[in-house]
Amino acid sequence: MHTSDIWVIGNWKMNPATIADAKVLFNSAKKAAKQQSQVKVAIAAPYVYVSDLQKIAKGSNVSLAAQNIHETALGAHTGEVSALMLRQYGVESVIIGHSERRAAGETDAKIAEKITVAFKNKLQPIICIGETARDNDAEFYSVVEAQIKAVLSSIPKTRFKEIIFAYEPVWAIGTGLTASPADIEEMRLYIQKVLTNEVNRQTALKTTIIYGGSVNKDNAASILKETGMQGFLVGGASLKANDFAAIIEAAGNK
């Protein structure tokens, strides 16, 4: 892994409705990714589709991600899925602390435990951080800082190069609103500053930071160009085959 990698991660959430649609979408991403072999493309599909998608993913440069894991390896946790299980289906990374899960009650402490379990099971953590609102007093910086600090103890110093921080301002998710390129760049620098202060400069520079929140085929190229972000976490647009392909292409042209 290298800091110059550009990531495009599709977060399908609880979509699409059928496995047939999932296969079509995945195949399209695979085709687009083939043309842009320098871009790291991953798809976070619903668990039930993962086994079938693993077969399609074989030999392609699209990897499988999970949308969540439980914070333990096995046990009496009805309805949960563990990192250990996902690993057996070729899943390589996992979104942790998405705002939709935080809104459903997932705490910073749980998120830290999940990061630990992800590392133990060789899943690369994609850690979501971001403020719910932009206030005029810039309190949102403290929100993001607190979210980072809360998980730092679960990341050994030597493993920062394996994690991805996805800065996703919650107000920009699924709303069609995006933070301005200047604001996104400022936040990227701020995240690096927090990591520099809390860990060290070298580690900060090795950590991958991507943007999420209403990324689409029309804004992807300019966000990448103007913010220094190393890619995207894409929700809605990852469900539109052509749009997701265009985002992968924009990432390849960076």
| Residue spans of alpha helices (H) in 75-138 | 83-87, 99-103, 108-120
Helix (H) or strand (E) holding 37: none
Window 215 to 254, contacts with ligand PGA (CB under 6 A) = 215, 233-237
The span of 48-56, 102-110, 141-149, 166-174 binding ligand PGA (CB under 6 A) equals: 166-174
211 bridge partner residues: 167, 232
Task: Compute how many residues bind ligand PGA; rule: CB under 6 A.
Answer: 13
Q: For helices 47-57 and 19-35, what crossing angle results, to 10°? A: 40
Give the span between the Cα atoms of 241 and 28, in whole angstroms. 6
If the CB atoms of residues 11 and 207 are measured against ligand PGA, the closer one turns out to be 11
Helix (H) or strand (E) holding 20: helix 19-35
Quote the least distance from Cβ 222 to ligand PGA, whole Å: 16
Quote the least distance from Cβ 234 to ligand PGA, whole Å: 5
When binding is defined by CB under 6 A, the residue of 10, 97, 169, 212 that contacts ligand PGA is 212
Quote the least distance from Cβ 202 to ligand PGA, whole Å: 29
Burial status of residue 63 (CB atoms within 10 A of its CB: 0-12, 13-18, 19 or more): middle
If the CB atoms of residues 126 and 195 are measured against ligand PGA, the closer one turns out to be 126
- CB-based contacts of 65, cutoff 8 Å, min separation 6: 9, 11, 42, 43, 44, 91, 92, 93, 94, 95, 126
Any contact of residue 181 with ligand PGA (CB under 6 A)? no
If the CB atoms of residues 33 and 212 are measured against ligand PGA, the closer one turns out to be 212
**DSSP letter (8 states) at residue 46:** -
Catalytic residue numbers read: 98, 168
Quote the least distance from Cβ 162 to ligand PGA, whole Å: 20
Window 102 to 161, contacts with ligand PGA (CB under 6 A) = none
Name the residues that contact ligand PGA, by CB under 6 A.
11, 168, 173-174, 212-215, 233-237
